[in-house]
């Protein structure tokens, strides 16, 4: 007599599948914030490293040019990011500045922007001059005091007013400098704008939910992360960090 046996199948029931899916969704909800924070921390580390490499290149530039460093960006085409290119492994005007990866920060919201940092382009006539004027020619840093407190460069801020540098012939391709007190935020929530909408970046990175800020490259070529509140509350005192003349 032939006997038939029913072989049981090892399969999940619908309830078991729903339980597994729920557990996976719960784990993703727990892990995603941590992964996002880790990704942002990684981006901040790359930005910091890029600024540090720019600082090293600027030190070589200063040694080669009698301790002068490029300032501002200017309309003449002799921008800071062009001048420093030979000391980053490229040749000035021979290599497209858009191809220099060190000039890019992965934390910058618009990935098409090739220059993600802005340079200090201010000149002051006296300690009481809180307005200043824009400067384009190089500045000699030999003999300047407190280089570790003088800001040379900072993260650039993203916005519709900051046009993307399409190519060297673009009308605003040289606008990567800081030249007005209105470019400085006095606190985390401040929104400082010029009449034409230009600003300099703040609030790019974050150390915790309540401490957003950005990176700064100082004239001794160290890089420091600060919130606007860390910079200084008094605008006049803040200007001292950006001013080289006193």
pLDDT tens string 67-90: 999 987 755 557 888 888 888 875
**For residue 215, is it within any domain?**
yes
The tokens describing 13, both together, are 């029931």
pLDDT of the residue at 194 = 47
**For residue 3, is it within any domain?**
no
Q: Is 50 exposed, middle or buried (0-12, 13-18, 19+ CB in 10 A)?
A: buried
**For residue 128, is it within any domain?**
yes
Residue of 123, 129, 115 lying closest to 157 (CA atoms): 115
**For residue 89, is it within any domain?**
yes
Q: How many CB atoms lie within 10 A of CB 152?
A: 26
Phi, psi of 188, rounded to the nearest 5 degrees? -60, -35
Decide: helix, strand or coil at residue 103: helix
**For residue 97, is it within any domain?**
yes
**For residue 72, is it within any domain?**
yes
Domain span at 60: 14-242
Total number of domains constituting the chain: 1
* 174 alpha-carbon distance from chain centroid: 17
- 125 has a pLDDT exceeding 50: yes
- 48 has a pLDDT exceeding 80: yes
The average pLDDT across 41-64 equals 92
- The confidence band for 230, taking pLDDT boundaries of 50, 70 and 90, is low
- Taking the C-alpha atoms of residue 151 and residue 54, their distance in angstroms, rounded to an integer, is 14
How does the average pLDDT of the chain come out, rounded? 76
**For residue 6, is it within any domain?**
no
- The confidence band for 132, taking pLDDT boundaries of 50, 70 and 90, is confident
For 191-208, how does the pLDDT look when each residue is reduced to its tens digit (9 = 90+)? 445 444 445 445 677 666
pLDDT of the residue at 57 = 94
pLDDT of the residue at 192 = 47
């Amino acid at each position: 007599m032939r006997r038939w046996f029913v072989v049981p199948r090892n399969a999940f029931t619908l309830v078991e599948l729903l339980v597994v899916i729920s557990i996976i969704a719960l784990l993703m909800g727990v892990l995603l914030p941590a992964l996002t924070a880790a990704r942002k921390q990684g981006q901040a580390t790359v930005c910091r490293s890029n600024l540090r490499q720019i600082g090293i290149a600027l030190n070589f530039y200063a040694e080669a040019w009698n301790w002068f460093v490029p300032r501002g960006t200017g309309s003449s085409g002799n921008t800071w990011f062009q001048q420093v290119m030979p000391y980053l492994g490229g040749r000035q005007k021979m290599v497209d500045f858009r191809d220099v990866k060190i000039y890019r920060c992965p934390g910058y919201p618009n990935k098409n922007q090739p220059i993600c940092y802005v340079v200090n382009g201010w000149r002051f006539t006296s300690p009481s001059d809180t307005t200043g004027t824009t400067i384009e020619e190089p500045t000699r840093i030999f003999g300047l005091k407190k280089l570790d407190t003088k800001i040379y460069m900072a993260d650039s801020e993203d916005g519709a007013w900051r046009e993307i540098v399409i190519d060297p012939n673009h009308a605003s391709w040289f606008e990567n400098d800081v030249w007005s007190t209105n470019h400085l935020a006095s606190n985390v929530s401040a929104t400082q704008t010029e009449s034409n909408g230009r600003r300099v970046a703040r609030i790019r990175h974050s150390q915790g939910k309540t401490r957003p800020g950005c990176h700064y490259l100082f004239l001794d070529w160290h890089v420091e992360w600060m919130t606007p509140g860390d910079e200084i509350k008094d605008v006049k005192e803040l200007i001292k960090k950006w001013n080289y003349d006193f």
